[in-house]
Structure 1
Amino acid sequence: FTTSAQYCEPTTEDVLGPFYKPDTSKNDHICMRYQNHTFLPKITMTGHIKNVDCEPVNGVKVEIWQTDDEGKYHNDQTCRGYVVSENNGSFSFETIHPGRYKLGDHFRPSHIHMLFTKPGYHNLITQIYFEGDQYLGENDGCPPAICHSDDQRRIIGLKKVLSSKNFEGTFEVVLENRI
C-alpha cells in the first residue's frame, strides 16, 4: 500500500440477500463445522482493505458466509463467521470451495459473501467469485447488474499450494469513507 495522494475506486456493492444471519461468531475457519470439511480441499483467503486514499484500514469487521460444497446455506453457524482486519489492513480466513445453487432456472457461480463494517466508513456488502466459473456474468442466475459476477476486480484466481490439495486466493477491498 502507498500513502501518496492516490485515489482507489471503492469496491462495488451487492444486495445483502436472504441468507445473511447477524451475530455470527469470530471464526477464521469458516466451514469447520460442516460435516465434510475435513475431507475437502481448503482455500486460504487473504484480503487487504484500504480506503479511497489507498491507505490500509485496520479494525474492520469482515462477516463471511457461503454455501457448503453441495450449494446449501445453513441456518446455524456452519460456513459463517467473522474476522477483523489487522493494522496493515489485512485479514485472512480458511474455508472450502462453495458449491453452486439454482436461482430460478439458472445456477449462481460459486461465491463467498462478505460484509465489511467499521465506524467512519460506509458498510460494504460484496461477493467474491472464482476465475473460470462457467456461471459468471451473463450466465449467472442473478443479473450482473445486481450481483456483479462480471466485475473482474471481484473474480479471484486460486493458486494451488505445493504438495497439497489446498489453494490460496487474494482479494483487495476499498471502503468508501463517510463524509
Structure 2
Amino acid sequence: MTRKGNLSRRAWLQSGFAAAVGAATTRLAAVMGREPACDGTPPQTAGPFYPTVQGADEDMDLTRVAGSDGRAEGELLYVRGTVLDEQCRPVADALVEIWQANRHGRYHHERDDSPAPLDPHFQGWGEVLTGADGRYGFKTVIPGAYGAGAGMRTPHIHFRIARRGYHELITQMYFDGQDLNPQDGLWTGLSEDDRARVTIALEPSPEDDEPGARLASFDIVLRPVS
C-alpha cells in the first residue's frame, strides 16, 4: 500500500483523551515498579469487502466524496485513538485503514450485491498515518447491520494497521449495547477479554466537533516482529 493520509491537516481529529490515558498508565506502572504493558488487540478476518479499487477520495473523512456537495447519510461518528506497542509506547507513522458498510448496511464494493441502497456521498474507506504521538482519527457514520449467510453481522468497522517492525494487524471494532452483538459469530467467537478490547461505548463528541456527533475512542496495540 502506498496511499497515505495527513493527520495534521484536520484540527477536528485532535483529542487529548488517548494521550492522557496512556500517560496515566505509564505513571501507574512506574509507581508499582514495573514496565507498563499493553495487551495486544485481537486479530479478526478482513472479510470479503476490503477495497480493491482505488477511490477518487482517500482521506480520513468518509462522510464526503471529492466532487460531491452532499454528505453521507447517517449518524456522524468520530473514531479516534492511539496506536501503541506492547510497552504502551506510541507508534508513529503507522498506516491505519478503515472500511465499513454505510448506514443501510451496504459496502461500496463491487462484490456486495445486497439490495440495500448505496450512498453516493459515502466514501466507505479511509486511511491516515499516525502522528509522532501515535494518534489517528477518522470522521464517518455509524454503520448499519447486514445479512451474512443465514445470520447477521452486527454494526462494526474494519481496521488494518501496518508499520515496519510490527506484525500487520487486521481487526474489527464493535459498538457496545448493540442487540445483534450476541448473534454475531465473529463477536461471540472472541474471548470475554478480547471482546472488551474491541467493543467501544459511544460517547458524545467534543463541542468543537459537529453538533450531535458521537465519539468512539479505540486504542490499538501492535506486536513487534521478533
**What interval of TM-score do these two structures reach, taking the shorter chain for normalisation?**
0.7 to 0.9
2:179 to 113, 134, 147: 134
Q: What SS does the aligned partner of 1:53 have?
A: coil
Residue number in structure 2 paired with 1:71: 105
Q: What SS does the aligned partner of 1:169 have?
A: strand
Q: Does 1:10 align with 2:40?
A: yes
Q: Aligned partners of 1:42 and 1:157: how far apart in 2?
A: 15
Q: Aligned partners of 2:224 and 2:186: how far apart in 1?
A: 28
Counterparts of 1:15-26 in structure 2, within 5 Å, are: 15-22=45-52, 23=54, 26=58
2:157 to 112, 127, 130: 112
Q: Aligned partners of 1:38 and 1:80: how far apart in 2?
A: 13
Kindly state the Cα deviation for residue 41 of structure 1 after the two structures are TM-superposed: 2.4
Q: Aligned partners of 1:40 and 1:151: how far apart in 2?
A: 25
Deviation string, structure 1 residues 123-142 (Cα, Å, up to 9, x no partner): 000100111101113x1154
Q: Aligned partners of 2:64 and 2:185: how far apart in 1?
A: 28
1:32 to 26, 43, 64: 64
Check conservation: 2:73, 2:141, Cα contact below 8 A. Answer: no
- Per the normalisation by structure 1, the TM-score is 0.87
2:94 to 55, 60, 69: 60
Amino acid paired to 1:114: F
- Per the normalisation by structure 2, the TM-score is 0.70
Kindly state the Cα deviation for residue 63 of structure 1 after the two structures are TM-superposed: 0.9
Residue number in structure 2 paired with 1:165: 212
Give unmatched runs, 5+ long, in structure 2: 1-21, 111-121
Deviation string, structure 1 residues 129-158 (Cα, Å, up to 9, x no partner): 111101113x1154632799x701111111
Amino acid paired to 2:45: V
Bigger radius of gyration, 1 or 2?
2
Amino acid paired to 1:82: E
- CA 1:37–1:115 in 2, change beyond 3 Å: closer, same or farther? same
Residue number in structure 1 paired with 2:170: 125
The structure whose residues are more often strand, as a share, is 1
Q: Does 1:99 align with 2:144?
A: yes
Amino acid paired to 2:224: N
Give unmatched runs, 5+ long, in structure 1: none
Percent identity of equivalent pairs? 29
Kindly state the Cα deviation for residue 38 of structure 1 after the two structures are TM-superposed: 4.6
* Aligned residue-pair number: 178
Q: Aligned partners of 2:70 and 2:102: how far apart in 1?
A: 9
Q: What SS does the aligned partner of 1:46 have?
A: strand
Check conservation: 1:128, 1:156, Cα contact below 8 A. Answer: yes
Kindly state the Cα deviation for residue 75 of structure 1 after the two structures are TM-superposed: 2.2
158-167 vs 100-109, greater mean Cα deviation: 158-167
Q: What SS does the aligned partner of 2:64 have?
A: coil
